[in-house]
Every structure is written in C-alpha cells, then in structure tokens.
Amino acid sequence: MSTSELSITKRRLLGGIAIAAVGLALTACSDAEEKAASAEPKPAVSNETTASTTSAEIPTADRDVDMEEALKPGPLKEMALGDPNAPVKIIEYMSMTCSHCANFHVRTFDEIKTRYVDTGKVYFVVREFPFPQDTASLAAFMLARCTTEERYFPFVSTLLKQQSAWAAPADGDVRNAMLQMSKLAGFTQESFDACLTNAQLAGDVSAVRDRGAQEFGIQSTPTFLINGKAYSGDMSVDSMSALIDSML
C-alpha cells in the first residue's frame, strides 16, 4: 500500500465509511456461486440432527499450495488457536463484511474448534482479507487488532455474528454502528479514533491481504488453506469434519 493510499484510507476511516463498499462486499465475498447465503447469518443447526441425516462428501480442493510457505507469518502476529504441531493445519482468509464468512463462523467454526482445535488435532489461523476499497472490513480488522490477544477472537466472533447490525445499519451510518459495537468491547471514542487512524496498522492489514492474493492465489472469501490444498467457499460442520477426518 502506497503512502497516498494510506492517506486516503486514513481519511475514509476517520471521516466515515462508505456504505456502498460494504454492500459490494456483502454480496460479492466469494467468486463461487451463491449458495442461498444471505447477509444475515443463519441460526446454528444442531449437529446431532445433521450428523444423523447427512453423510457429507469430502470437499474437492481448488489447487495445491505450498503449506510450509503459507504458514510463515507475515507483517502481523498470527491470530491462531490450537497446537502449532497439530496434524491438520488450517489458514482461513476472510473478510469481516463477507456473508459467507459470517455464516461459517456462526454455523461451523465453534463446533470445529470444540471437536478438533481444543483436542489438539487442528491448528487454526485466521488471516485478514479486506477487499480493496472495502474500508468497513479493513476498519473492523484494525479494531480487532487493537484489542488484546485474549479478546481478538471473541471480538471477531461478535462482529461476524452481528454483521448486518454494523455493516448494513438501517440508518446507513456504518462508522457510528461500529463505534457502538466497539464500546461493548471496551473502546472509548478516543481509542476508537486512534486505532482507525493508525496508518501503519492499516498498511500491515492490507499487506496480509496482498500477500495472500499474490503468493497463495486468494481471490475470494472465505478461502481455506488446509494441509497444502486450497478450498474456496463456506463449509458446513459435516463437510469440514469429513475433510479433517480424512487427514488424520
């Protein structure tokens, strides 16, 4: 990101976030065909029910990736859960305004964490992929980075689960909606403004995105890099479980 781009981003984040950019991300977060996912995440479905009625197929990979290179950290500290030596390693590239990403974190992530991350089978890394011009997603990631490490995942989860409330509020004031959400996480007006005018942080978050696109071919969100394979699009608990089980 150039100096001029950082300057523009800083003015946008401080002065207000364009709802048009958010609307674009909410409807175009994946190049894959829409799978009936809406901007409002669907309620979680009991896994006991789905497990007894569904026999999930193992998802097909889009392409191979160099997982050793992918696991090397970029300009920001990795936000990860689980044992780095776990047999299955997952990197999720996501956008905070992407409805498919929200759907995954509402319906799938917590169960995968309980089954595989907490049991030492999966190491799960989340990486930022705010699309260019989507200042709302960039701002949300910056705010998450401005919390403590212990609060990062809970804050990201809250933003995704309440995505439509701040990314597409009824009055169109995205910035104020983000401020109100952030206050619940302990931000003040001053710390909120300070975070969103941190040009270095904005550049580093954007650099994570650019590296993902340039080195690992990330073009849509969510995209998962799993043990040397890339998978684009949302996954159900059953589908991701089937994939993980095939690697154990």
- Quick: pLDDT tens for 203-241: 999 999 999 999 999 999 999 999 999 999 999 999 999
Half-sphere exposure of 33 (CA within 13 A, CB side): 1
Sequential DSSP letters for 27-90:
H-S-SSPP-S--SSPPPP--HHHHHHH--PPPPPPSEE--HHHHTS--SS--EEES-TT-SEEE
Residues 6 or more apart whose CB falls under 8 angstroms from that of 156 comprise 96, 105, 126, 144
pTM of the model: 0.82
**Tens digits of residue pLDDT in 15-48:** 555 443 444 444 446 544 343 333 344 444 444 4
Residues facing 169 on adjacent strands? none
Q: Is 125 helix (H, G, I), strand (E, B) or coil?
A: strand
Please tell me the distance from the alpha carbon of residue 35 to that of residue 222, in angstroms, as a whole number.
Answer: 13
